[in-house]
Amino acid sequence: MTQALARLSAETLQTFAGRCFGQVGLRPNDAALVADTLVAAELRGVTSHGLIRLPVYLCNLRDGVVDATAHPTLAADGPAVALVDGRRAMGQVAAKFAMDLAIARARDNGIAAVAVRNSNHFGAGAYWAMLALPEQMIGVAMTNGAVAMAPTGGVTPLLGNNPLAVASPAGDEHPIVLDMAQTMVARGWIKLAAMRGQSIPDGWAQDDRGQPTNDPSAALDGSLLPIGGYKGYGLSVVVELLAAAISGAAMGPALENMGFTAGAHEQRTYPVHGVGGQGTGHFFAAIDIRRFMPLDVYTSRVDALIQTMKASEMGQGAESIFLPGEKEFIAERQRRTEGAPISTEIQAELQAASELTGVPVPVA
């Protein structure tokens, strides 16, 4: 067991993060939204997309790289589709606007898709796909991201890990929520191994000559490997098409890195609609289940599928069979009661956010 950590309640974290965002100019509703996405990730145990993102978001807003007061606008509009110009707003602000629109259009048409350009990092994809759940719809969210993987056969990182999230209601069971990047692991795990002087497993990364490597330093000079080799590369290309090519967002290496320094704009090589910011593209879709079958028939079918899998025989060493997103629901239930554990790493980021904004760090 690891040492017990200090814990902070969801409400405390929400208030702190919301106040921080207000200090750098986000409108109250937007500040509450972005804070909620970070707290939700923290509660769900997705710490990589939780409060450790707070200082970099605040810096981007303070420096005007992300426009704190921008309103996303409609750039194209059809019965069941729309194109949103994020206007360099926070990715979360653009994502909420777009996913709400996808849900409304799906209500009218059975399915709808909304692409977004000129946006920024939108946090964890699951948050947006899950907006469909209270509407009894299936939600889909994708985004492109800073380059991480090389095309199969190549050595130059030209595609992001381009996550895909899908959420579906169930009945008595937890909803199914898949949220996955197309690389085997995030770069952070390789950095951690390098810091600790450990080797990395087969399949995680290749070096700068395209050879598989177990050396984290060589991996950091090389690129992350996609899941299933050319299959994960193909999935990443597809997300790039839907999130970026069709939206007019920055594609591939033209996308600014999330953690970039203000003003350090890289040269853009693609025709980009809109200017400045990270240039991220997203793709959202919603599917209204009731257009296909009664909702209770669908949810009982999903429950049956879940129960068949969870009741099936386990392999040696396995303690449980989980559905996608189930561990996160379990973590959230626990943390809503007990509070979220605050590691020293998170504590340092809360402190940094406090120094940037003057908002006092909450104490456990």
Structure tokens that stand for 175 in this block: 């909803």
Q: Does 112 bind a copy of itself (CB under 8 A)?
A: yes
Cβ proximity to a copy of itself, 289 vs 359, nearer residue: 289
Q: Which long-range contacts (CB under 8 A, 24 or more apart) does 189-195 make?
A: 190/216, 190/219, 190/220, 190/224, 191/216, 191/220, 194/220
Choose the binding region for a copy of itself from 92-100, 118-126, 240-248, 344-352 (rule: CB under 8 A). Answer: 240-248
Q: Which residues in the 1-60 window bind a copy of itself by CB under 8 A?
A: none
User: In angstroms, what is the minimal distance from the CB of 336 to a copy of itself?
Assistant: 24
Q: Which is nearer to a copy of itself, 45 or 252 (CB)?
A: 252
Among 103, 126, 242, 359, contact with a copy of itself (rule: CB under 8 A)? 242
The Cα–Cα gap between 359 and 342 comes to 18
Locate tokens 């290496």: which residue?
253
The per-residue b/e assignment along 223-247, b for 16 or more CB within 10 angstroms, e otherwise, is bbbbbeeeebbebbbebbbbbbbbb
Beta bridge partners of 85: 73, 117
**Which region among 256-264, 293-301, 328-336, 337-345 touches a copy of itself (by CB under 8 A)?**
293-301
Task: Say which amino acid occupies 297.
Answer: V
**Residues numbered 319-338 forming contacts with a copy of itself, rule: CB under 8 A:** 319-324
Identity of the residue, 304 or 348, whose beta carbon is nearer to a copy of itself in the bound complex? 304
Our finding on whether 288 is near a copy of itself (CB under 8 A) is yes
Write out the binding residues for a copy of itself, residues 157-196 only, by CB under 8 A: 158-159, 166, 168, 176, 178, 180, 184
Residue in 86, 145, 248, 339 binding a copy of itself, rule: CB under 8 A: 248
In angstroms, the CA 250 to CA 254 distance is 5
Among positions 262, 275, 304, 348, the unique one binding a copy of itself when judged by CB under 8 A: 304
275 — phi, psi (to 5°)? -135, 155
- Give the x-and-dash track for 200-229 against a copy of itself (CB under 8 A): --xx--x--xxx---------------xx-
Task: Label residue 196 exposed, middle or buried (CB < 10 Å: 0-12, 13-18, 19+).
Answer: exposed
DSSP 123: -
